[in-house]
A and B are shown apart, each in its own frame.
Chain A
């Protein structure tokens, strides 16, 4: 094998990620850079305590309370914090409303920006090349892959997230839900409907 300068990029295949993270974690623990308990708490918070149920509660509140909805559209971050949801990757939120005229969907073409406090951690497809490359060039084709068809006369608006601003879609409240409670409504709200890759079906 030819001799080479040993800099950042290894030319040999890297060892498997499980081994690499174990080595890194054990060195950082040993040096006191990270704390084992804090690490477990971080994982538990994002695996078990944060997720799209948070965003669904925000959506349901907006559907039943016009004043809240107004605040949510004017100051997303503040109105979401009223419901108790805030923190990293949710510092600056813009809520965009779906209507009969406009369907919004959210992508992060550059990486993986996503509103963690309201939706939890993003699914693999959101962070992967196929969605990121095509959401901006062929949004209707992408929506079709999710089984979503948007009427030709409805504008499809794609929002490209970044490190400074994250988006949450306020989906259309389905027909036939007039008598439903806020909790019942929240239970209907899907993660994908708040990314804009899903719509909420009317109850049968």
Chain B
């Protein structure tokens, strides 16, 4: 499928801007996303094709304006809801609960 993820040859994406001495993770939440994804992937909850497909279905604007681990987070939320492990309502409720606790 042609889509925004198919970036080869596209113009206007700006400079590459490599970071010197870059850490493996830039924030604790990236670390958690990585762990949750590898654990659920390794646990056989989805395969690599589903993994990529879920990211490729992101809206173009959303895809380009979010970071790599946000793509992963979108993917794992989508697939774990689709396969029935959790529901979107449970996720929304848990997020609301945590937001309230943090406030």
Contact = CB atoms under 8 A, between A and B. Distances in A.
A35 B36 CA distance: 9
Contact of A18 (B9, B13, B29, B36): B29
B37 to A, nearest CB: 9
Interface of B: 5-11, 13-19, 22, 24-29, 31-36, 38-40, 42-43, 45, 48-49, 52, 55, 57, 59, 62, 64, 67-70, 73, 76-78, 80, 85-86, 90-91, 94-95, 97-99, 102
A123 B22 contact: yes
6 contacts: A20-B91, A22-B32, A46-B24, A47-B31, A109-B7, A145-B18
Given A17-B33, A46-B34, A146-B16, 5 more contacts: A23-B91, A24-B86, A26-B98, A28-B85, A33-B45
A128 interface: yes
B16 A131 contact: yes
A67 to B, nearest CB: 34
Identify whether the interface residues of A are mostly helix, strand, loop, or mixed. helix
A37 to B, nearest CB: 10
Interface residues of A, number: 56
Contact of B13 (A43, A110, A129): A129
Interface of A: 8-9, 15, 17-28, 31, 33-35, 38-40, 42-43, 46-47, 51, 88, 107, 109-112, 120-121, 123-125, 127-137, 142, 145-146, 160, 163, 192, 197
